[in-house]
Structure 1
C-alpha cells in the first residue's frame, strides 16, 4: 500500500520523508491557505522535494478551464497529478487530460457510481472521502469495499486513493480491503507507530535492564 501525506507544509513532508514513510503528497486549496507565502512557490518546492506523485487541484468548474489549469500545473514537475472535482464537467476534463497523457486524481468521491464514472473516463486515481461520510453517519469504509469490488470485477487500472482519513483504523480497514493508496494528515501518519502496550513494554524492558546493570 502507498502512503501519501495530505499537506502543503514542507516541514511535515520532510520529516515524514526522513522516516521513509511516504510515497507521495496530496494537496488542496484549503491546505495551501494554511501556509505562508505564494502557493506557486510552495507547490514548486513540494514537487522538487518529493519523487512520488504530488496532487495539485484545479479550481475551475468548466472542463475547458480545468484542462487549461492542468496544463499549467504540470509545469511544476513530471510528478504532478491533477486533482479534478467529481462533477460532470470534471469527467469531461479527465477524459481529455487522459488522452493528453496527464495523470488525474478525481476528488470528492462519495459513491461507487462516481468512482465507476471516473475510472471509465481514465482517471489515474479516485479519492473517496471516508471521514466525511462517517461524519454524516454513513459508513465510509463500506464505500471503499464497494469501489474495490467494482474495480476488481472489471479490471480497471484506476487506483483507489482513500482520503479524508481521520484515524489509523481507517488505514487498517483500507489495507484489508486491498485499497491501493491512503493519504493521511501528518498527525495521523505519526500515530501509526503508537500503542500503549509498546510504551509499557519498553518501560518494563528498560527497568529490567537497569537491574541487570546494577548487579
Structure 2
C-alpha cells in the first residue's frame, strides 16, 4: 500500500498557533490541540497550541486568543486536570478533550478525593471481574486485574471529562500493545464497552492508538466497527498516509518532536534557535500531509 506520490502543495497559511498567558504565581503548562477546518475543503487539520495559566489570575488574555482561534477551529484541551478542563470548557470555546497515560497516572496519584474515588472504583471493578472469571492461573489473574484496573481508571477519568466538554474525549490504549494488533483491538473494544456500560455513547469517544503499523491496522478494524480512532505519535508523512488509507478518523502529528529530531539529527542540527515558520521541519511535514489528504480527498482529520 505505497503512498501516492502526486501531491498538491497548496496548504493553509496558518499551521500553528501559540497562545500564552503570562502570570505571576504558580503556572501550569496546558497544551491544546485545535482541529482546523479549512474553508471549502473536506479535509480538516489539527494544530498544537500551549497556554500558561493560573487559578489566581484572570484568563482574559487566553480567552481572547482562544476566541479568535475558535472562529475557524474546534479546540481540544490536552489535560487530565478536571478543574483546568472545567475552567476552559466554561468559556464555551473548548469543546473536546484528550488524555494520555501520564495524565491518568497523575490523576491516580493526585490525592484529591475525586481521583482517589476513581482509583478505588477501578480496583474494585477489576477485582470483581477477575473473581467472576473462569481463569484459574494466579499469574494470569493478577495481570488481567492490573490491565482491567488501568483501562477502568482511564474510562473513569474520561467519563468525568465528558461531563465537562460537549464534544469528543480521546482515551488511549495501553502503549505496551503498540506492536500487537489483536491485543490492541481487544482492549479498545473493552474500553468502549466500559464507556457504554456507564451510559456514554461511543460517538463521544475516540480511541487513541500509537501510529505503528500494528496500531494503524487495529484502527482499520475498529473503524469498520464504528469505533473511531485518534492515531497518535505521528512523526512522518508515511505514517499519515497509512492512517488515512486505514480510514482513521483523526491523526495527531507531533510537530514539535519532528523539529527536535531535525535539531539533533538533521542537516540543521547546529540550529539552536527557532526556525522561521515557513522552514520549520514539523510544519513542512504537516503541510505535506494536509496537501496529500486534500488532493486525494481523505476525510481523516489532521
Q: TM-score, normalised by structure 1?
A: 0.70
Contact 2:173 2:207 in 1 (8 A): yes
Quote how far apart the aligned CAs of 1:143 are.
1.2
The one of 174, 182, 193 aligned to 1:64: 182
Equivalents in 2 of 1:52, 1:33: separation in Å?
23
Which whole-Å CA distance do the structure 1 matches of 2:233 and 2:208 have between them? Answer: 10
Give the count of matched residue pairs.
Answer: 160
Secondary structure of 2:206's partner? strand
**1:117-136 deviations in whole A, cap 9, x for unaligned?**
00100100010001112223
Structure 2 CA distance, aligned partners of 1:12 and 1:72?
Answer: 28
1:81 aligned residue: 206
* Equivalent runs, 1:1-150 vs 2, <5 Å: 1-35=73-107, 36=110, 37=115, 38=119, 39=153, 40-59=155-174, 60-61=177-178, 62-74=180-192, 75-76=194-195, 77-78=200-201, 79-136=204-261, 137=263, 139-150=281-292
Residue deviations 1:132-187, cap 9 Å, x none?
A: 12223262111110110000010000001xxxxxxxxxxxxxxxxxxxxxxxxxxx
Partners of 1:63 and 1:117 in 2: how far apart? 15
**Alpha-carbon separation, structure 2, partners of 1:23 and 1:41:** 19
Unaligned runs of 5+ in 2: 1-72, 120-152, 264-279
CA distance in structure 2 between the partners assigned to 1:121 and 1:111 by the alignment: 16
After TM superposition, the structure 1 stretch with the greater mean CA deviation from structure 2, 68-77 or 100-109, is 68-77
Quote the offset at 1:113 in angstroms. 1.0
Mapped contact 2:74–2:95 kept (Cα < 8 A): yes
Match for residue 151 of structure 1? 293
**CA distance in structure 1 between the aligned counterparts of 2:248 and 2:235, rounded to whole angstroms:** 16
CA–CA distance in 2 between the matches of 1:44 and 1:54? Answer: 9
Shift in alpha-carbon separation, 1:48–1:65, aligned structure 2, 3 A:
farther
Q: Deviations over 1:40-87 (max 9, x none)?
A: 432221123222111100012311111111112223232110011011
TM-score (norm 2): 0.51
CA-based RMSD of the aligned residues comes to: 1.4
Q: After TM superposition, where is structure 1 displaced by more than 6 Å over at least 4 residues in a row?
A: none
Check the 8 A contact 1:134/1:140 in 2, yes or no. yes
